[in-house]
Structure 1
Amino acid sequence: MTSELGIVDHLYEAAVVPELWKEVLERLCGVIGVRAGALLTIDTSGGIRSIVTDAYQPAYQDYIDSGQRYPNVRPRRGLQLHPHRFVPDVDVATQEEMDQDPIYTQFLRPHGFGSTAGTAVLSPTGDTIVFDSAKLMAEGPLSRRETSRLDRYWSDFARASLISQRLGLKAASAATEAMQVIGLPAASVTAEGRVVSINGMFEALSPRILFGAFDRVSLADRKADRLLSSALAGLDATAVRSIPIPGDHGLPALVAHVVPIRRAAHDIFTRSAALLAVTPIVPPEAPLAELLTGLFDLTTAEARIARGIASGMSVEAMAAQTSLSRETIRTQLKAVMAKTGTDRQADLALLLSSARPIPGAPG
Structure 2
Amino acid sequence: MPKQIATPSLTIVICNYNYAQYLAAAIDSALAQSTRDVKVMVIDDGSTDGSRAIIEGYGQRVEAIFQPNGGQVAAYNHALERVDTPYVLFLDADDMLHPAAAATVIAAFSGSGDWVKVQYRLDVMTSDGMPTGVQVPQSIRADGSGRMLRHGWLYPSPPGSGNAYRVEALRRIFPVPVNADNIHGADFYAIYGVALLGNVCAIEHALGCYRVHRAARATSASASGDDLSLANAEDSLAVARQSARRWSVLREIAQNRLDIALPPAPLDFSAEKARFAQQVYGASFARRWHWFRHDSTRYFHTIVANPFWTLHKKIAVWGLTMLCLFPAASFSNRVVRYIANPLARAGQ
TM-score where L is the length of structure 2: 0.29
TM-score where L is the length of structure 1: 0.28
